[in-house]
């Protein structure tokens, strides 16, 4: 057998090496091109993603309206018999008057009531037949129960004069309970209270038509807010233009009458026409009717919430109004019956 020469082997190996180099070079070029194409595709995809993200960022994404709940209750009076039972049955703990309702009060975004007296151990009795004054410690119980706002525009806030009023304002502010309707000078007594709940701006005004003009705050002198219908309408219109909800807390009406009188009805229509969304009434010590006036709701009297008037079933019962606001409008209204036990502790009927 004859074997190829060395020269033939060398030539053959060289030829194979050349073919292999050509094949490898082709494969490398193909691979490099594939990588280039993949990188280009990735770059283009990133451009599209970035463009879409930029468009989404510029777009105004619609937001769902936010809801908030306000709970309005009637007259709150923590002196006399209420204080007696807080001491005797509650051991002096001012949580006692609210023990059966505090969980519901705290559950609302805002809980609002009428504080029917000063809270002070100072002052001079101004001579009212029923001068009311509660312990300064009672304000801590009010705050712990869940109250956020109280109206002071009522016919008992001046029962013990300017010193007692000054103490009341200081105790409320220290406890974090906001107030409206009275002050140590005219500008403070008439200043609206503005509160935000779930992104919605709520303006509160508080008035009474049961005091003589001489007890209104004037200049640097203390007193209650000033109510004149034309002026009140103008103020409501201004607030309605800049806030989502306008609430009027009004101390008015005839005691122990279960229907609103003609003056209440006329004032309510005037305030509703000016832009008030909610008109919440106190003073009669019994519940009165509610009425829808256009888009506004008037609750003429919520009656007593905590009060020592145990002489009738009507004065031991009352109402609370639970109002839902959504998107800057009143979205729902619910009435909750309230009744007090023999210790003047309120409870919401039908609620645990």
Query: How do residues 224-260 score in pLDDT, each as one tens digit?
Result: 999 999 999 999 999 999 999 999 999 999 999 999 9
What is the value of pTM for the model shown?
A: 0.83
d(CA 126, CA 96): 29
Is the pLDDT score of 96 beyond 90?
A: yes
Residue 232's nearest CA partner among 251, 255, 206 is: 206
Query: How do residues 16-33 score in pLDDT, each as one tens digit?
Result: 555 454 555 555 566 566
Query: How do residues 108-158 score in pLDDT, each as one tens digit?
Result: 999 999 999 999 999 999 988 899 999 999 999 999 999 999 999 999 999
Task: Assign a CATH topology to domain 67-348.
Answer: Purple Acid Phosphatase; chain A, domain 2 (3.60.21)
262-268, Cβ contacts within 8 angstroms, sequence gap of 24 or more: 263/209, 264/300, 265/291, 265/300, 267/209, 267/229, 268/293, 268/298, 268/300
141 vs 52 pLDDT, higher one: 141
Is the pLDDT score of 202 beyond 80?
A: yes
Q: How many CA atoms lie within 13 A of 63 on its CB side?
A: 7
Kindly tell me the number of DSSP H helices and DSSP E strands found in the chain. Answer: 8, 16
**What residue spans define the domains of the chain?**
1-62, 67-348
């Amino acid at each position: 057998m004859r074997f190829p020469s060395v020269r033939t082997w060398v030539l053959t190996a060289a030829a194979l090496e050349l073919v292999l180099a050509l094949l490898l070079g082709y494969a490398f070029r193909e691979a490099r091109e594939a990588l280039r194409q993949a990188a280009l595709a990735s770059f283009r995809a990133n451009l599209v993603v970035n463009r879409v993200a930029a468009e989404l960022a510029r777009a105004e994404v619609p937001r769902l309206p936010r809801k908030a709940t306000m709970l309005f209750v009637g007259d709150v009076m923590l002196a006399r018999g209420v204080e007696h039972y807080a001491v005797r049955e509650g051991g002096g703990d001012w949580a006692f008057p609210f023990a059966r309702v505090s969980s519901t009060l705290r559950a609302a975004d805002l809980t609002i009531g009428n504080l029917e007296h000063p809270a002070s151990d100072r002052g001079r009795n101004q001579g009212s037949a029923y001068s009311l004054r509660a312990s300064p410690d009672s304000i801590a119980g009010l705050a712990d129960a869940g109250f956020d706002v109280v109206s002071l525009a009522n016919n008992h806030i001046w029962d013990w004069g300017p010193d007692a009023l000054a103490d009341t304002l200081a105790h409320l502010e220290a406890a974090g309970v906001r107030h409206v309707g009275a002050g140590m000078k005219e500008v403070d007594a008439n200043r609206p209270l503005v509160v935000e709940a779930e992104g919605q701006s709520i303006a509160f005004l508080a008035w009474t038509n049961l005091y003589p003009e001489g007890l209104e705050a004037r200049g640097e002198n203390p007193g209650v807010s000033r109510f004149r219908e034309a002026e009140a309408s103008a103020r409501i219109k201004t607030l309605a233009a800049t806030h989502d909800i306008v609430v009027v807390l009004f101390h008015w009406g005839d005691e122990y009458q279960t229907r609103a009188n003609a003056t209440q009805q006329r004032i309510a229509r005037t305030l509703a026409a000016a832009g008030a969304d909610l008109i919440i009434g106190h003073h009669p010590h019994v519940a009165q009717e509610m009425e829808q006036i256009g888009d506004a709701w008037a609750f003429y009297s919520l009656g007593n919430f905590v009060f020592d008037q145990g002489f009738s079933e009507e004065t031991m019962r009352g109402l609370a109004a639970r109002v839902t606001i959504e998107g800057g409008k009143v979205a729902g209204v619910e009435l909750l019956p309230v009744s007090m036990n023999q210790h003047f502790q309120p409870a919401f009927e039908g609620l645990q």
